Amino acid sequence: LSASQLDTVYASGQLGVGLGIVGGVLHDSIGPVATCLWGFALTLVGNLGLATVLRFKDCGGLSSLALFYFALQNGSVAIYQVGLFSNLRAAPPEAQGATAGIVAAG
């Protein structure tokens, strides 16, 4: 792949991260368990898709790489948000900043 094609794949992943609002809305409307399952499904599709297309000489084409990387990143953000929101909800007010820092650190 050329540098510009790799930039496109990276940008699609960043779009998946940027559309993390979807995971937040899902968390508010259907709860943390369903949101985590949604994130897992997207992450699974993204990872399995990338593992499959990367075996081909042309990496399955630019659109396949971009789509699977988008799914992977968006699913990852949804799972991260479930961890963050659940921990913040459980933490007492005086520990929410530290809790957010710990979760954000990985």
| pLDDT mean over 17-40 | 95
103, 16, 22, 34 alpha-carbon torsion, rounded to 10° = -70
Q: Amino acid identity of 22?
A: V
**DSSP assigned state of 19:** T
Checking if the pLDDT of 84 tops 90, the result is yes
Query: If 0-12 CB within 10 Å is exposed, 13-18 middle and 19+ buried, where does residue 72 land?
Result: buried
pLDDT score recorded for residue 24: 92
Mean pLDDT of 81-96: 93
Name 27's Cβ contacts closer than 8 Å, sequence gap at least 6.
Answer: 35, 78, 81, 82, 85
For residue 93, the one-letter residue type is P
- Which pLDDT band, with edges at 50, 70 and 90, does 2 fall under? confident
Question: What pLDDT score does 106 carry?
Answer: 75
Residue linked to tokens 């297309």: 53
Of 6, 13, 33, 12, residue with least CA distance to 77 = 13
The residue segments making up the domain with residue 36 are 3-105
Counting the structural domains of the chain, the total is 1
- pLDDT above 80: residue 53: yes
